[in-house]
Amino acid sequence: MKIDSKNYVAGITADNQDLFTASRANARAYFASNPSKEELVDHFTGRMVNERMNMVEIAKQVANMPADADPIELQNLSKQAHDEAVHFRMVKEVIEHIQGAPVDLKAVMASEAAKEVSEGNHAKGASLLSKYEAETDEVALALYQLIGEGRAEAVWDEMADCVEDTFISSRYAKIARDEGFHSSIGAIKLEKLIAADPSVTARIDTLAPQMRADLMSISEQNTAVA
């Protein structure tokens, strides 16, 4: 059966909106709770490490792309890996801005790695890349980009609106714009995959609700209000 890949992906995108809206609401509620400086540092530290995890995973994809890979796809993924590295640096600067001291990256990375294990290795969005074996499953990677990076766009954009400090908000608005671009990379890839093999929609139909549920759980963990 022939499937209109563009309309199909548009449908997946429309189905993501409840997740994005709920994630925005969680972020808004978190900042409205007036978290302490220490709580903000902890919160943003998790986000900083998640950006680094994204950078590493996307860089692996770039390094493993076949010789006949689409040059535009190679270019887009390379840009995403670079963007994630920039985001890692920018959030590090935000943390240092808040705490007035340098970030001990070695200690932070070790602490966050231990936390990931204790929390079932699913406390950060980037952990889903491993859970769904996106390093070897191009459908899972493209779907994660569409859903996960789309949710990230919504959350960073909401945080930019919630934070009055312009040093922070301007950086988070920039990150949000980049995440929107990363989501579009996933949409383009999914359209190509479906056009080449419509049967992959069965995998997408199974995977998409699972990813949304996992990302909603992550959103609730990361913005829990005591």
Identify the structural domains of the chain with CATH numbers, from first to last: 5-222 (1.20.910.10)
What was the pLDDT predicted at 225? 44
How far is residue 92's CA from residue 107's CA, in Å, rounded to a whole number? 13
What was the pLDDT predicted at 119? 52
What was the pLDDT predicted at 113? 81
Integer CA distances (angstroms), 72 to 127, 143, 151, in order: 26, 18, 24
What was the pLDDT predicted at 44? 93
Residues 6+ apart with CB under 8 A from 15: 208, 212
CB atoms within 10 A of CB 50: 23
How far is residue 214's CA from residue 155's CA, in Å, rounded to a whole number? 15
Side-chain-side CA neighbours of residue 25 (13 Å): 7
Return averaged pLDDT per consecutive 10 residues of the chain, 226 residues in all: 90 97 94 93 92 92 92 95 97 97 94 70 64 82 94 96 95 97 96 96 95 89 56
What was the pLDDT predicted at 226? 40
